[in-house]
Amino acid sequence: MSAPIRVRFAPSPTGFLHVGGLRTALYNYLFAKHHGGAFVLRIEDTDQSRKVEGAIENLIQTLQWAGIDFDEGPGKDGSYGPYIQSERLNLYRSHAEQLIKAGKAYFCFCSPERLDEVRKKQQAMKLPPSYDRHCRDLPKEESDARVAKGEPHVVRMKVPIGGELTFTDRIRGKVTIAHKVLDDQVILKSDGFPTYHLAVVVDDHAMAITHVIRGEEWLPSTPKHILLYQYFGWDQPEFAHLPLLLNPDKSKLSKRQGDVAVEDYRTKGFLKEAIVNFIAFLGWNPGDEREIFSLEDLVKEFSLERVGKAGAVFNVEKLTWLNQQHIRLRPSTELARDVRNLVQQKGWQVPEDAYIIRAVDLMKERVTFVWDFVEFSGYLFVDPETFDPDARAKSWPDGAAERVKALTDRLEQLTSFTHASIEEALKKLAEELNVKAGQIVHPTRYALSGRSVGPGLYEMMEVLGKDTVIRRMKSALEKLD
C-alpha cells in the first residue's frame, strides 16, 4: 500500500496572504481532501529580516475564513511538529553537517566584498551571476581549522560539474536541467539559519510530505532540491508546479495593477464562496461547462490532471459575476443575518427577521454584494429622504401626481395587500384613466423608493406592506408637488 497522502502549504510570514498563496493553499487542501490525506501548514520564517509581526496570525485567520482548514500546523500539533521553521533550527544544522561529512557540501569563507567583485566581473563579461566555487576544494583540515577559529562562513551544496538532471512534474511533464546552470547554493547562512532550499527539503522529508504542490516560480529551485534528496539518500516527493497568475494584459500579477491581498477582496465584500470558486479556476477546470462550485464540490472534482500549464488570468469581472451567483445560492436566512447587521450599522430601525427575509428574497437576484441590499435598496428599510433628481423628469412627469393620488385612494380600499391584488387595482385604474400601466408604475416606484429602478413594483409593494406604501405615497405627493 502506498503512503498516505500528505501535502503542505509553506508560506513565509512576510505580510498579507496573496491571492496566489491562497490558490496554492486551496489546491493543496483540495488534493489532500480528495484523497483523504493530510494538509499541513508550515511557516517558513528562516529569513528573519523579512518577517512581519502578526503575519502568521493573519495568515491562519484568512485561511480559516476561507474554510481551508489545515490538519496540522501551528497550534494544531500532529506528530511532525513544530511547524514553524525557526523552531527547528537544530535539525537544519545537523543536516548541513551531515552533508559536509559526506563531501556533498562545503564551508565557504568568501567575504561579501569578494562575492561582489566576482559578480561585477561576471556582469562585465555578460555571464549569469553564480558563485565561482572558490572554496569548493579547500583541504578539509584547512576549512575545519578556519571554522574552529571562528572565521565567518556559510555552507554551500556541491552541485555536480557536468551532466544533467531530469524529473517529472505532475503538471509540466518531463523537465531536464543541465547541472552547469545550477549554483553551488548556500544552504546554511553565516548566522546559522538555513536557506529556504535546505529547510524545505529537510522539512518535506521529516514531515513525510508526498506531494509538493507550489507556484511555478519555484520550478527553477526544484533541481537543487532533488540533488539534496539524492545527497541525503531520501525518496523525493512528487512535484507539481502551478501556472503563473497573470493580469488581464498577461503581465505577471502584481500589486501595481490592483489588489493582490485576499483581505482586500474580503473587505470589498466578496463572499468567501465566490473567492474560493474563483481561485479554484485559476489554473484548474472541471473539463466541462460548469462554473459554480462550492468547496465541497471542488473537493470531489479536483485533480492535478486537470491543472493546466498556461498562465491563468486574474479577471475581477469574473469574480464579481461569481459573487452574484453565490449570493443567489446562499440561503435567504443566512443573507438576512448579514443584512440585519448592516441595517443595524446604518442606525436604522431593525425590522423583524421575517421582513428581512422577504426583502432579501425580493432583491437576491439583483445584487452583486451583500451591502447592495442596504446601499441600493435602503428604501426597503427606511422611507426615502430624497428623490433622485436625475430621474425626476422621466419618473414624475405632468399628471403623475394625479395618477399616484388616484392609486393611493384605490390601495387604501384593498383588504388583501398582495402583489396580485395591487397589480389588479393598478391595471384597472390605468384602464379607467385610459393610460398605460407604466404611466402609473413609474411614478409610484419613484414615490415609494426615490429611484427609477428596482425590483418588480408589485412585489416590492407587497414586501413594504400597506401602511408603509400609503404613508410614503402621501408624503411623496406632498414633497414632489
Residue holding cell 500500500?
1
- Contact in structure between 368 and 378 (CB atoms under 8 Å): no
Partnered with residue 154 across adjacent β-strands are 108
State the cell numbers at 247.
Answer: 493580469
Task: Give me the half-sphere count of Cα atoms (radius 13 Å) on the Cβ side of residue 76.
Answer: 13
Among 65, 218, 229, 355, binds ligand GLU (CB under 6 A): 218
Q: Is 11 in the site for ligand GLU (CB under 6 A)?
A: yes
Q: Is 143 in the site for ligand GLU (CB under 6 A)?
A: no
- CA 48 to chain centroid, in Å, comes to 25
Min dist. Cβ of residue 41 to ligand GLU (A): 11
* Closer to ligand GLU by Cβ: residue 200 or 202: 200
Distance CA 476, CA 470 (A): 10
Size of the site for ligand GLU (CB under 6 A): 8
DSSP conformation class of 234: P
Min dist. Cβ of residue 254 to ligand GLU (A): 16
Min dist. Cβ of residue 80 to ligand GLU (A): 16
Q: Which stretch binds ligand GLU (CB under 6 A): 6-14, 28-36, 169-177, 278-286?
A: 6-14
Residue holding cell 511555478?
216
* Closer to ligand GLU by Cβ: residue 199 or 460: 199
- 7: helix, coil or strand? strand
Q: Is 12 in the site for ligand GLU (CB under 6 A)?
A: yes
Which entry of 255, 268, 318, 364 is annotated as an active-site residue?
255
Q: Is 153 in the site for ligand GLU (CB under 6 A)?
A: no
Q: Is 277 in the site for ligand GLU (CB under 6 A)?
A: no
Distance CA 283, CA 243 (A): 6
Min dist. Cβ of residue 444 to ligand GLU (A): 58
Span 158-197, contacts to ligand GLU by CB under 6 A: 196
- Contact in structure between 325 and 290 (CB atoms under 8 Å): no
Q: Is 45 in the site for ligand GLU (CB under 6 A)?
A: no
| Cβ-based neighbours of 440, under 8 Å, separated by 6 or more | 403, 404, 407, 426, 429, 430, 433
* 255 a catalytic residue: yes
Task: Dump strand ranges (E) for 128-248.
Answer: 154-157, 164-169, 173-178, 186-188, 211-215, 238-242, 245-246
Among 55, 59, 108, 200, binds ligand GLU (CB under 6 A): 200
Residues in contact with ligand GLU by the rule CB under 6 A: 10-12, 44, 196, 200, 214, 218
Catalytic residues: 255
